[in-house]
């Protein structure tokens, strides 16, 4: 996480800021959030799930999706739903510099950060935009971009779409441990152990994350940690005030390196405070 981010006062009076404001309050909030997001980097190309954006801005899924689409339409950024990567086009020039001398040591650091980015559709275009400004040397291939569903999320799904989702949910819930393919008994145990709270939802998406990261191999550790945390006072008091959304828990791998001794004494672990 970055310690600080730069947002110029002229952001509100420049042409870009005016265009963002014309598209509504949600768009302006999302734009400022993307410049200062705790998940962002100096490159402006980073992993930013809409779920995190919705929670941390307080806009909710509908408002966050509307604001993100407004930013895309204004030419401020682009977003790939498949990889959940966002690229704020001019953020690197805002946060680093318009250009650097070839001998500037930051050029190597930028190339290193670029090389470490996960695969997404924006790797090639980012290189082309900043190769001269930052003297980049290694261009990475981009993954094909799939149509984004951000705009669709701002509207109620069609009856056909809802029926398809219901069928998928039913198929996943009816999975039998004796079935040789697609079996995730560890996920079933994880979901059953997760305490009831207003944030418990998105089961199908959680299952996708579980399968994609092969968490079935760690199911004993994960389920054990969830059960330990579910016994703490912070996870049980006031309707589960500190219970995170399960998909946030999985993305953050909250069990990794956690000290269960913290859970035993009923205190909220340090790794969890402020990161729900």
Per-residue model confidence as pLDDT tens digits over 207-265: 888 888 889 889 999 999 999 888 887 777 665 567 888 888 898 888 888 766 555 44
Please tell me whether residues 123 and 17 are part of one structural domain: yes
Which domain does 204 fall in, by range?
Answer: 158-264
Q: Which of 134, 150, 178 is the last residue of a domain?
A: 134
Residue 185 pLDDT level (bands cut at 50, 70, 90):
confident
| pLDDT (0 to 100) of residue 104 | 93
Instruction: Provide the mean pLDDT of the chain.
Output: 79
Say how many domains are in the chain: 2
- Asked if 57 and 64 touch (Cβ cutoff 8 Å), the reply is yes
Residue 152 pLDDT level (bands cut at 50, 70, 90):
very low
Please tell me whether residues 176 and 108 are part of one structural domain: no
| pLDDT (0 to 100) of residue 240 | 57
In a domain, 150, yes or no: no
Please tell me whether residues 62 and 118 are part of one structural domain: yes
Residue 46 backbone dihedrals phi, psi, to 5 degrees: -160, 170
DSSP per-residue letters across 22-65: HT-HHHHHHHHHHHH-TT--TTSEEE--HHHHHHHHT-HHHHHH
Q: How far apart are CA 69 and CA 20, in angstroms?
A: 11
Q: Which of 192, 260, 204, 266 is nearest to 235 (CA)?
A: 266
- Asked if 30 and 65 touch (Cβ cutoff 8 Å), the reply is no
- Read off the pTM: 0.52
Please tell me whether residues 165 and 243 are part of one structural domain: yes
């Amino acid at each position: 996480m970055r310690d600080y981010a730069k947002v110029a006062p002229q952001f509100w009076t420049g042409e870009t800021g005016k265009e963002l404001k014309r598209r509504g309050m949600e768009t302006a909030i999302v734009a400022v959030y993307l410049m200062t997001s705790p998940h962002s980097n100096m490159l402006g190309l980073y992993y930013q799930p809409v779920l995190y954006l919705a929670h941390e801005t307080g806009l909710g899924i509908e408002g966050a999706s509307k604001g993100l689409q407004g930013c895309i339409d204004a030419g401020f950024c682009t977003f790939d739903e498949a990889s959940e990567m966002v690229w704020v086009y001019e953020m690197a020039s805002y946060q680093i510099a318009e250009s650097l001398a070839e001998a500037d040591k930051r050029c190597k650091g930028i190339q290193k950060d670029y090389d470490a980015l996960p695969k997404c559709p924006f790797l090639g275009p980012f290189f082309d935009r900043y190769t001269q400004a930052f003297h980049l040397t290694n261009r990475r291939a981009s993954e094909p971009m799939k149509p984004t569903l951000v705009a669709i999320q701002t509207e109620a799904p069609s009856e056909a779409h809802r029926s398809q989702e219901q069928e998928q949910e039913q198929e996943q819930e009816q999975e039998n441990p004796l079935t040789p393919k697609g079996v995730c008994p560890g996920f079933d145990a994880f979901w059953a152990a997760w305490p009831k709270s207003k944030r418990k939802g998105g089961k199908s998406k959680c299952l996708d994350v579980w399968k994609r990261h092969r968490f079935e191999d760690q199911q004993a550790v994960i389920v054990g940690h969830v059960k330990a945390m579910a016994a703490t006072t912070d996870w049980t008091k006031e309707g589960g005030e500190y219970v995170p959304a399960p998909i946030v828990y999985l993305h953050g791998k909250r069990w990794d390196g956690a000290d269960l001794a913290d859970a035993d004494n009923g205190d909220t672990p340090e790794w969890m405070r402020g990161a729900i």
